[in-house]
Structure formats: structure tokens, C-alpha cells
Amino acid sequence: AQSVTQLGSHVSVSEGALVLLRCNYSSSVPPYLFWYVQYPNQGLQLLLKYTSAATLVKGINGFEAEFKKSETSFHLTKPSAHMRDAAEYFCAVSEGFQKLVFGTGTRLLVSP
């Protein structure tokens, strides 16, 4: 079965600093990978997705992620954090049509 591991339940950065949220996956077939963001009191919003095209994927709000097969990783980055980026971020891997398997989430805290 496919699975996702997100290292660090909380990540703290200062405004303007680099954001790095880690995601490692396990899959026996080429995966489709996703990052979702959840702001307080809201549902999940798709940030970006990897679907076997370019390994560097750009998403909304200045985020991007790189698929590295050799490391089974799909880490999320943003060069400069904003206060509005404070939210919870979920990595997910597809398990066939319809099924998304989610990680436990990483809460990003941004300080002034």
C-alpha cells in the first residue's frame, strides 16, 4: 500500500526565510503526488501536483516542489515566507483512481 511520511509536525520560520516542508512517499508504482494547504477553519486547497511530467512543479502562492525518485521525496519549498503562509500543509499520494492517501500534516508557523 502507498503511504506518505511528513517529517516534523511543526516547522517555524521567520518572515522572509526559506520554507522547506518534507515529504517522503512509498509506492510500488509511479506515483502522483500532491501538496494541499489548510488555513484555519477552512477545507483543503490544492497547492500543486506532480503527475509524471516535469519533476519540478510550481504551484500557487510561490510554492514549488521537486519530485526525486531516487530519494522517494517530494519536498515543498518557498524562497521567502509570508505571514499569510501560516497554515497546515498536507502531502498526499495517489493510490489508483479516486484514492488519495494523506500524510499527518505539517503546521507552518511564521514569525515577524
Partner 1 sequence: ETGVTQTPRHLVMGMTNKKSLKCEQHLGHNAMYWYKQSAKKPLELMFVYSLEERVENNSVPSRFSPECPNSSHLFLHLHTLQPEDSALYLCASSQDRQSYEQYFGPGTRLTVT
The binding site for partner 1 (CB under 8 A) comprises 4, 9, 32, 34, 36, 41-46, 49, 51, 90, 94, 97-105
Instruction: Tell me how far, at minimum, the Cβ of 6 lies from partner 1, in Å.
Output: 9
Residue closer to partner 1, measured from CB, 34 or 74:
34
Residues 69 and 73: their CA atoms lie apart, in Å, by 7
Instruction: Tell me how far, at minimum, the Cβ of 1 lies from partner 1, in Å.
Output: 13
Instruction: Tell me how far, at minimum, the Cβ of 42 lies from partner 1, in Å.
Output: 5
Relative to beta strand 44-50, strand 33-38 is antiparallel
Closest residue by Cα to residue 96 from 30, 49, 34: 30
Q: Tell me the three cell numbers of residue 83.
A: 505571514
